[in-house]
Structure 1
């Protein structure tokens, strides 16, 4: 994984307030080797060891079942890659990018700690910013297009349906009290991550994203916004 671009746009909300929006461009090379790295990350269950007794009882069985499923998906990194593999790839790369570039703490992949029911279960990944704000992330993958609009629209839908609130019983256990207290005060962040066909088009995509009405909705809802375009390089 290589971060190839990062720019910060300040969006004015009113005369006394503005929101930082980070636009980050990433490349992934050597998919088989990278998939092996992600498998090791998925298998790392040290986060469970840090939980209290109730947390360990709650998440151990669910996590290990999901780990087996994800390892099977990540072990088949054929070209073209599957949609499932692609979306997990985008989710985990986005989290790693925020950790590397902006010192976020990456929480375990959502599917490791919440049961996935029919329909869209909610946000795909979460991180904690250095200011102890929870960032709610949505990942979209396509082999033929740049699905930035789908990611943006999905986040707005989740905000309108208060999907972040539904994660609170879990986040209260794994994210820490300060982050939860900030969330309850209305302080939170959002991240839209999507596959990118070509890094050279990222500046043009930024212009399209900032013109979306839905993007303005996200800016007003979050304290800080992260937009991550991820180019998956094929041999």
Structure 2
């Protein structure tokens, strides 16, 4: 994975809107790396209580196997509409950790209760101010997917899905981060499949989107364009 761009946007109106563009350098290698990352369950060992470790291990093993089967096709280097969001989620999550040095939290599918189809956000992190980042990923094979991602994040905010998710993610964050989120200090990431469109056009589309202002008023917002 290569980060092509990482820059602030719309700085005249907002202080904390970041745009990141991600390029999978060799897609077949990227797919293998994602499956390796999904299968790496070393994060479970950091929990002291054995019942927490065992619970997460059962969920994560089942889900990692399921996701690997969804991502891989016969030729091993393609993604489909069905698996694309997992790829976008993982690459975006990795970019937050590698490029911004934000908190490394495993993909949400690995630790939420259901094996697949979990409601709520797709990935999480925390910035250097300990503000929790709630991330949503969208994939489309035919168009840039930022619009559908922004619509869902805006809806999740209105519905309080972020607050609801705190019960699922509390073991991964410091108490201070959870308290900040509870009082309304939250950040969001919108990760989306990007096609050959120039970044300037994508950014103009993001800023002019009808959901933009509702999202942009939060502590921090990160838009991650993934070239898949």
TM over 0.5: yes
Task: State which of 170, 173, 178 in structure 1 corresponds to 2:171.
Answer: 173
Equivalent in the alignment of 2:201: 204
Are the equivalent residues in 1 in contact too, given 2:63–2:109 (CA < 8 A)? yes
SS in 1 for 2:227: strand
CA–CA distance in structure 2, aligned partners of residues 189 and 217 of structure 1: 12
Cα distance in 2 between the residues matched to 1:80 and 1:144: 15
Unaligned runs of 5+ in 2: none
- Residue 144 of structure 2 is matched in structure 1 by 146
Q: What is aligned with 1:100?
A: 98
Pair 1:166–1:117, CA change in 2 (3 A):
farther
Deviation of the 1:120 alpha carbon: 6.3
Q: CA deviation at 1:153?
A: 0.2
Q: Select 1:214's aligned residue among 201, 211, 217.
A: 211
Tell me, in whole angstroms, the C-alpha distance in 2 between the residues paired with 1:97 and 1:118: 23
Tell me the residue number matched to 1:36.
32
Aligned residue for 1:45?
41
Tell me which residue corresponds to 1:122: 120
**In 2: Cα distance, 1:52 partner to 1:79 partner:** 38
How far the C-alpha of 1:109 sits from its partner, in A, is 0.8
Structure-2-length-normalised TM-score: 0.91
Q: Is 2:67 aligned against 1:70?
A: yes
Correspondent of 2:153 among 140, 152, 155: 155
Residue 112 of structure 1: aligned partner: 110
CA distance in 2 between counterparts of 1:159 and 1:167 reads: 11
Q: Could you tell me how far 1:206 is from its partner in structure 2?
A: 0.6
Q: 17, 23, 26: which is aligned to 2:19? A: 23
Q: Describe the shift of the 1:44–1:119 C-alpha distance in structure 2 as closer, same or farther (beyond 3 A).
A: closer
Structure 1, gaps ≥5 residues long: none
Displacement of 1:50 in angstroms is: 1.1
Paired residue for 2:57, among 46, 56, 60? 60
Quick check: which one's strand share is greater?
A: 1
- TM-score normalised by the chain length of structure 1: 0.88
Give the superposition deviation at 1:12: 6.0
Which residue does 2:227 correspond to in 1?
231
- Once the two structures are TM-superposed, the CA of residue 209 in structure 1 deviates from its matched residue by 1.0
